[in-house]
Structure 1
Amino acid sequence: MTASPETPPLSVGFVLLHRFTMMPFAGFVDCLRLAADEGDRSRQLRCHWVFMTGGGRDALSSCGAAITPCSPFRDPAEFDYIVVIGGVQDEHDAVDEAAIGYLKRVARAGVPLVGVCTGVFALIQAGLMAGRRCCVSWYHHGDLTRRFPDIAPVADRLFIDDGDRLTCAGGTASADLAAYLVERHLGKAWAMKSLHIMLIDEARPGSHPQPQPVIFDKVADRVVRRAIGIIEQHLGQMISVDELARRVGTSRRNIERKFREELGVGPQKFARDLRLRYGLWLLHYTAKSVTEIGERCGFADTAHFSRHFRDAFGTTPTAVRKAAGEGSAPVDPFFLHIEARPASS
């Protein structure tokens, strides 16, 4: 492995905000823990971490579990990174002024700040994200843009490295970001060791797209469910019905029949409609151009994309983009809810 005992350890300070989310915290710190030592021995050798809160009080997570012991805020110079784990957003909650003051102190000291999940909200409240690219989960995109209209968040990728500001959508993406930092400081072998023990095949890059909020109710047929999964994984390219049938281990005739029974449309139209819905989502939640979105959704050109988009939604991609920028929506981007047909009696 690349790192040697003489390699300076990767030192990370965690700022745990009130009702912080457990999944991104656990993914990040466990990646550090597994890279820090041989096997699963958990000694803080190659990585070192500290949990911090205002006054060193216990940190209460959104699920009710508490992290203890926590340290009061420490000298930023002790750390390579300060990672802010945000939590449940309630505008009526009091702002953690002690944490905001500490983040400003960290920035003045030149220590890189990492905003994970809604931790980015705290970085914005501290005035540390002006003119910066900002990654946020699609789930929190609307709340962030409403509360902080001067910030332009990105919700179509897992994390962004903007030098001394790194922001991450949260969830399992925090493990990808932690592995990215471990690889930077200790080498790829240590990052892969952590991920493999966590049963993660490989680290996803920051540019990897976030999964989109597409929901299917009561799709009982196994073949259709598997086919939908394949279509979702390849929204940027055309997959022929023959190829789709081959991948799920059935015939073209059978897969077409099953799609019509379950969803009322054939697999080809279903896939196109899903790609259009993905385009609708991108128009609302990213700054990509209409041309880029059409390409990303697997359409041959902008005219092709726009024609099918108008047929599906009764409006143009340009009109949707304009309305989204003005805070209104001629088409609801969260209508991505496709119900299966009820089973016949």
Structure 2
Amino acid sequence: MLHSVAVPLIDDFAMFEFGVVCEVFGLDRSYANLPPFDFRVCGIEPGVPLANPTGASIIPPFSLEAMEDADLIAVPAARIRDDYPEELLDALRRADARGAILLSVCSGAFLLGAAGLLDGRPCTTHWRYTDALARRFPEARVNPDVLFVDDGNLITSAGTAAGVDASLHLVRRELGSAFANTIARNMVVPPQRDGGQRQYIERPVSDCTDDTFSELIDDLGSRLDENHTVTAMAARVHMSTRSFSRRFVAETGASPMQWLTRQRILHARLLLETTELPIDEVARQCGFGSATLFRHHFDQEVGVAPTSYRRSFSRSSEFA
């Protein structure tokens, strides 16, 4: 379970990426009935200001010792350098050895690499730095095309907004969709962008900016239980199937049916967490033709069976 979060900072840290982890993990959202995280901003020397390129500074109140029992170590971006503080690298190694979750945003992956924690593991960073990451850490399996990579206790993300996606994904994975959706709603961001979505698409930030496609997507999202074909979708926006599919990928980073399946799975997760509906009914309400097909897609997307997911994340254990 995810209770405590430590954020180690060094000089020339990136303010936005630091703000991302503060926004997701550091705010008190008791007004939304969410328990707060035990949030700790750490520095090598507590109480000493750390500068960043904006000219502002942050004074970390905790030393690196606060990392020693944290459930999550969130590493924001910082200026890429040849050498990183050895005491911080050692603290990261100890965190990994005891099974803590490690999350990096943008160039924070270089710090994890310097600690030797990327060797043999899939990872990513901002597309501008992926070649440099691969050269510096040749044992790392760098994927330049994705928003984030979840490799168990290691989650690495691309730049800026991808850090939001990775953080919300982690909250969803550890605490459930309802928890993550509440945070996303209060941040006024989409509740989920899949990690496999490409970093660099024609419109990489929002799910959709074209008004015609936005209207279609909003309507599809409100009628997930109905049958939707690519041909029918294309006809609604007066396009050929081929042109529609190409434009849809450019707008969302996923094919029409990939996007639809992911939205259905996201809705299914919420139903499994918050209702006592039988699996057959969850499958029906989410637009899967059968419970068997639903189980197949759910296991493929989430990694566990629907019943196992319900046991882990249901608000009540009565219907496990």
- Please state which band the TM-score falls in when normalised by the shorter chain: 0.5 to 0.7
Q: Aligned match of 1:207 in 183, 193, 196?
A: 196
Q: Is the 8 A contact 2:6 2:66 kept in 1?
A: no
Which residue in 2 is equivalent to 1:88? 79
Which residue in 2 is equivalent to 1:155? 144
Please, what TM-score do these two structures have when normalized by structure 2? 0.60
Which residue in 1 is equivalent to 2:173? 184
Once the two structures are TM-superposed, the CA of residue 213 in structure 1 deviates from its matched residue by 7.5
Task: Report Cα offsets for 1:285-312 as digits up to 9, x if no partner.
Answer: xxxxxxxxxxx9xxxxxxxxxxxxxxxx
Number of aligned positions between the proteins:
235
CA separation of 1:53/1:226 partners in 2, compared to 1, >3 Å: closer, same or farther? same
SS of 2:167 mapped into structure 1 = helix
Q: Is the 8 A contact 1:32 1:194 kept in 2?
A: no
| Distance (Å, rounded) in 2 between the aligned partners of 1:152 and 1:185 | 25
Once the two structures are TM-superposed, the CA of residue 63 in structure 1 deviates from its matched residue by 2.3
Q: Which runs of 5+ in 2 are unaligned?
A: 215-229, 251-257, 259-320
Which residue in 2 is equivalent to 1:62? 53
| Distance (Å, rounded) in 1 between the aligned partners of 2:145 and 2:24 | 23
* Pairs within 5 Å for 1:28-43: 28-34=21-27, 36-39=29-32
Confirm whether residue 109 of structure 1 aligns to residue 98 of structure 2.
Answer: yes
Confirm whether residue 19 of structure 1 aligns to residue 8 of structure 2.
Answer: no
Q: Is the 8 A contact 1:54 1:99 kept in 2?
A: yes
Once the two structures are TM-superposed, the CA of residue 9 in structure 1 deviates from its matched residue by 6.2
What amino acid maps onto 1:63 in structure 2? T
Q: Is the 8 A contact 2:119 2:137 kept in 1?
A: no
Once the two structures are TM-superposed, the CA of residue 186 in structure 1 deviates from its matched residue by 3.2
Task: Report Cα offsets for 1:15-46 as digits up to 9, x if no partner.
Answer: 12321222222122212245742249xxx943
CA separation of 1:55/1:190 partners in 2, compared to 1, >3 Å: closer, same or farther? same
CA separation of 1:108/1:201 partners in 2, compared to 1, >3 Å: closer, same or farther? closer
Once the two structures are TM-superposed, the CA of residue 246 in structure 1 deviates from its matched residue by 4.5
| Distance (Å, rounded) in 2 between the aligned partners of 1:187 and 1:62 | 36
What amino acid maps onto 1:89 in structure 2? I
Task: Report Cα offsets for 1:221-255 as digits up to 9, x if no partner.
Answer: xxxx959x99xxxxxxx99xx979848xxxx9xxx
| Distance (Å, rounded) in 2 between the aligned partners of 1:175 and 1:27 | 6
| Distance (Å, rounded) in 2 between the aligned partners of 1:214 and 1:201 | 15
Once the two structures are TM-superposed, the CA of residue 73 in structure 1 deviates from its matched residue by 0.3
Which residue in 1 is equivalent to 2:40? 50
Q: Is the 8 A contact 1:85 1:118 kept in 2?
A: yes
Q: Is the 8 A contact 2:168 2:191 kept in 1?
A: no
| Distance (Å, rounded) in 2 between the aligned partners of 1:107 and 1:9 | 15
| Distance (Å, rounded) in 2 between the aligned partners of 1:104 and 1:118 | 18
Task: Provide the identity percentage.
Answer: 26
| Distance (Å, rounded) in 2 between the aligned partners of 1:132 and 1:159 | 13
Task: Report Cα offsets for 1:262-293 as digits up to 9, x if no partner.
Answer: xxxxxx7xx79xx9xx9xxxxxxxxxxxxxxx
SS of 2:65 mapped into structure 1 = coil
Confirm whether residue 146 of structure 1 aligns to residue 139 of structure 2.
Answer: no
Confirm whether residue 170 of structure 1 aligns to residue 159 of structure 2.
Answer: yes
SS of 1:115 mapped into structure 2 = strand
| Distance (Å, rounded) in 1 between the aligned partners of 2:96 and 2:123 | 16
| Distance (Å, rounded) in 2 between the aligned partners of 1:27 and 1:152 | 25
Once the two structures are TM-superposed, the CA of residue 70 in structure 1 deviates from its matched residue by 3.1
Once the two structures are TM-superposed, the CA of residue 132 in structure 1 deviates from its matched residue by 0.6
What amino acid maps onto 2:138 in structure 1? P
SS of 1:54 mapped into structure 2 = coil
Please, what TM-score do these two structures have when normalized by structure 1? 0.56
| Distance (Å, rounded) in 2 between the aligned partners of 1:203 and 1:149 | 31
Once the two structures are TM-superposed, the CA of residue 117 in structure 1 deviates from its matched residue by 1.1
| Distance (Å, rounded) in 2 between the aligned partners of 1:212 and 1:27 | 22
Q: Which moved more, 1:205-214 or 1:100-109?
A: 205-214
Which residue in 1 is equivalent to 2:3? 10
| Distance (Å, rounded) in 1 between the aligned partners of 2:39 and 2:203 | 37
* Structure with bigger RCO (C-alpha 8 Å, 6+ apart): 1
Which residue in 1 is equivalent to 2:220? none
Q: Which moved more, 1:155-164 or 1:52-61?
A: 52-61
CA separation of 1:76/1:31 partners in 2, compared to 1, >3 Å: closer, same or farther? closer
Once the two structures are TM-superposed, the CA of residue 106 in structure 1 deviates from its matched residue by 1.6
